[in-house]
Chains A and B, each alone.
Chain A
């Protein structure tokens, strides 16, 4: 059995292409138990803004569980992504209240300003748009959430100002 385990590790070492060596620091913060998989995935998502393939291999090796299981989990949760997400993740609410108060035109405005559709990320890796169902802030409708911050009572002008503000901070 040991021989098998070692050969698996050798096989996988070839797979590691990108520089995700520091991901081991995150993984090793947790005990080698299957039940920490989701917690590790969340931390990895936070650090790299997505779940790199190479890190899944490292996790599979560390936790002693098949890659297919980790992949299954990573594709199940909406909070985890297999493609790189932007530094700023815009979650635009399209719940009932926001929808009635015009979130569709806010979405159009966002799409025009950033030149991407929901689910995509800008080329500079700065922004991603996600349309979500309700973020529980209906009184602020139409509302969006950028990383941890809420922006309520949106108008097309306000959206432009907010995005410009963030872009400005990054020059």
Chain B
């Protein structure tokens, strides 16, 4: 499939989205709620682009738009930039003190008049729902978007320490605005009002995961982990094994 993006032709695979194709070819399209490996959510709308097909032009969210043969895409027209500015403006009003959003606003030259800005506002969440997706894919569906309108937020049912949460921290990891509080101290991890004991690596002693996560992984894989290893130690172990096998070959 051939797609023309900003005047150049690129070849894409069937089923690929516009954003995926663009990212693969290092064409910059801004986004907040997109994370490689997850399907697009189409929530933050920052990845808007113009698609020209035949005689018609439309504005689409590139993260959820599957490419079609022969379409032409414009990622940086005046129209698109203005729409992105509007979106960033609204996000800035919601999260006036968030570093990521402020940086984005600066990049796009978006300034909010002080009569709209409430600098006392302590909000970091832009409600993109990427954390909910991460919890669904990697965790245990412990969080969801609750309420609606101005009271909408991401939370566990009844804001309680969720029985389902395994403290994997995938939600905090993917959050584009660093809005989810994950505190680690004295061998404990606190997230979503729940406290977890951290497991330390049997080799280097570094705290790296919760017991619940390791159980979850065992259950998913149907195996029993023999040795608790942190990421770097388990990589080293694989490396050592590989080296050994290689030397035996020679």
Residues of A at the B interface (CB closer than 8 Å) are 3-4, 11, 53, 56, 66-69, 71-72, 75-76
Contacts and interface: CB of A to CB of B under 8 A. Distances in A.
Interface string B140-163: 111111111000000011100011
Given A76-B147, A76-B148, A68 B163 contact: no
A3 to B, nearest CB: 8
A66 to B, nearest CB: 3
B219 A68 contact: no
27 contacts: A3-B219, A4-B219, A11-B163, A53-B158, A56-B157, A66-B140, A66-B141, A66-B142, A66-B144, A66-B164, A67-B157, A67-B164, A68-B141, A68-B143, A68-B156, A68-B157, A68-B164, A71-B157, A71-B158, A72-B144, A72-B145, A72-B146, A75-B146, A75-B147, A75-B148, A76-B146, A76-B148
A128 B219 CA distance: 47
Interface residues of B, number: 17
Contact of A69 (B141, B147, B156, B158): B141
Contacts of B158: 53, 71
Contacts of A67: 157, 164
A4 B222 CA distance: 11
Interface string B110-150: 00000000000000000000000001000011111111100
Contacts of B162: 68
Contacts of B144: 66, 68-69, 71-72
A46 to B, nearest CB: 21
Interface centre among B141, B144, B157 (most CB of A within 10 A): B157
Contacts of B143: 68
Contacts, number: 36
Contacts of A11: 163
Contacts of B135: 68
A56 B146 CA distance: 15
A69 B136 CA distance: 10
Contacts of B156: 68
Contacts of A56: 157
B7 to A, nearest CB: 43
A66 B141 CA distance: 6
Contacts of A75: 146-148
Contacts of A4: 219
Nearest to A15: B163
B148 A68 contact: no
9 closest A-B pairs by beta carbon, nearest first, are: A66-B141, A68-B144, A72-B144, A71-B157, A75-B146, A75-B147, A76-B148, A67-B157, A68-B141
A75 B148 CA distance: 7
A11 B212 CA distance: 15
A11 B164 CA distance: 10
Given A67-B157, A68-B156, A75-B146, 19 more contacts: A4-B219, A11-B163, A56-B157, A66-B140, A66-B141, A66-B142, A68-B135, A68-B141, A68-B142, A68-B143, A68-B157, A68-B162, A71-B144, A71-B146, A72-B144, A72-B145, A75-B147, A76-B147, A76-B148
A163 to B, nearest CB: 30
